[in-house]
Amino acid sequence: MFLEPHFKGQRSGWIEVICGSMFSGKTEELIRRLKRARIANQRVEIFKPKVDTRYDEENIVSHDKNEIVSTPVDNSKALLILTEEVDVVGIDEAQFFDEALTEVCQELALKGIRVIIAGLDMDFRGKPFGPMPDLLAVAEYITKVHAICQHCGNLATHSYRLVQDGSTVVLGEKETYEARCRTCYQMGNILNLK
């Protein structure tokens, strides 16, 4: 892809990624940043994957029930069509998007748009999740947020699945997942193997 040179006076865009485990406040932080952008009279468009219907069909809703209006989309290429005349693009649950999300976000940033992305960095197996590793590699700003381990009280970095299901994507909340530190996550996996 050929990129036009950056000209003096052209607005520069960038990519921000907010990542962490379940229950770490990723969506809370995304909503906070997007509301601040609106207070500054910036034009904001917000998206989430259509597959995520846990709290609401359309709105982005945090576990604490804070919410902001969004547009559910089937794939990342749809973002290019829906982001004309905007200053800021917010994307929640980025791990559920297709691999083209990284390229789309870079294209938006090259157009001078601030792109703020929130998503799980690891799946329940402790492996990099969807397009998140590539997004982390190209982002100008990365914020890793932490939950509190529900077993020992240390910082939690893992999403431990409580139900037996080998599928990578299983939508759920507190009845399906727990935030765990590295040690408690590993101990739980060892006990499940027995």
* Residues labelled catalytic: 93
Residue 63 CA to residue 50 CA, distance in Å, equals 18
Residue 20 CA to residue 141 CA, distance in Å, equals 14
Residue 66 CA to residue 59 CA, distance in Å, equals 10
CB 94 within 8 A of CB 130: yes
User: Taking the alpha carbons of 139, 127, 76, 79 in that order, is the dihedral positive or negative?
Assistant: negative
Question: Which candidate, 102, 114, 132, 115, places its Cα nearest to that of 20?
Answer: 132
Question: What DSSP assignment string belongs to 4-22?
Answer: PPPPTTPPPPEEEEEEEST
Question: Which candidate, 149, 119, 148, 102, places its Cα nearest to that of 19?
Answer: 119
